[in-house]
């Protein structure tokens, strides 16, 4: 059942992005984030996990203007990345590529903004045990500093749950380059 739901999630996000990208004038909002992944140690105080990676979100915005330079936005799109986790336990090391649906809710006024983002989908990758795959869910928030109307910098933190053959829970402090291409 879990695999069916994950497949449905990826199929819906692929159809959504395929429909949006077919428009020649599509100008998605987005973010390119670099994150550090930090997982807790086990009850013996060992096997803590640490890693990092990159993720890009391409998001179609639905905006509500709240004044000349203020807006509320709901954004939906696709998030794709590459990450790695290392541990004292060789069986827990893994490289993975998360891909799935991204949702964001944000508020921006002047040169400042805040956003909450959620991602869910599938990951595929390799562990010391071989190739593996599973589902993932991530949720977090960020503060955004807009350099102008189109480009900004963001800092935030996310919690990631990796499910499947290499289960993991990690906290991910993130720095990102954000953009908004709306006219």
Q: What CATH number has the domain bearing residue 141?
A: 2.40.160.20
Phi, psi (deg, nearest 5) at residue 73: -140, 140
How many helices (H) and strands (E) in the chain?
Answer: 1, 8
Q: Which two tokens stand for residue 129?
A: 């045990």
Task: Give how many domains the chain has, as a whole number.
Answer: 1
pLDDT score, position 154? 97
Give the model's pLDDT for residue 4. Answer: 46
Q: Which pLDDT does position 177 carry in this prediction?
A: 97
Length of the chain: 183
In the prediction, which pLDDT does 83 show? 94
pLDDT < 70 regions, the chain: 1-26, 42-47, 90-91, 166, 183
Asked if 90 contacts 128 with a C-beta cutoff of 8 angstroms, the reply is: yes
Q: Tell me the residue range of the domain where 137 lies.
A: 2-179
pTM for the model stands at 0.80
For residue 166, give the DSSP letter.
T
Cα 49 from Cα 29, distance rounded (Å): 32
């Amino acid at each position: 059942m879990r695999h069916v739901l994950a497949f449905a999630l990826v199929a819906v996000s692929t159809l959504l992005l395929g429909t949006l990208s077919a428009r020649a004038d599509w100008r998605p909002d987005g973010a390119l984030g670099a994150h550090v992944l930090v997982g807790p140690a086990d009850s013996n105080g060992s096997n803590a996990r640490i890693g990092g990676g990159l993720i890009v979100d391409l998001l179609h915005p639905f905006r509500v203007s709240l004044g000349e330079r203020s807006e509320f936005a709901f954004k939906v799109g696709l998030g794709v990345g590459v990450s790695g986790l290392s541990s004292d336990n060789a069986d827990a090391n893994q490289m993975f590529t998360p891909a799935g649906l991204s949702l964001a809710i944000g508020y921006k006024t002047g040169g400042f903004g805040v956003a909450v983002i959620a991602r869910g989908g599938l990951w595929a990758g390799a562990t010391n045990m071989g190739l593996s795959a599973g589902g993932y869910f991530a949720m977090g928030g960020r503060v955004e500093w807009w350099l102008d109307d189109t480009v900004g910098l963001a800092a935030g933190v996310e919690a990631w749950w990796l499910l499947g053959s290499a289960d993991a829970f990690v906290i991910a402090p993130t720095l990102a380059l954000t953009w908004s291409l709306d006219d």
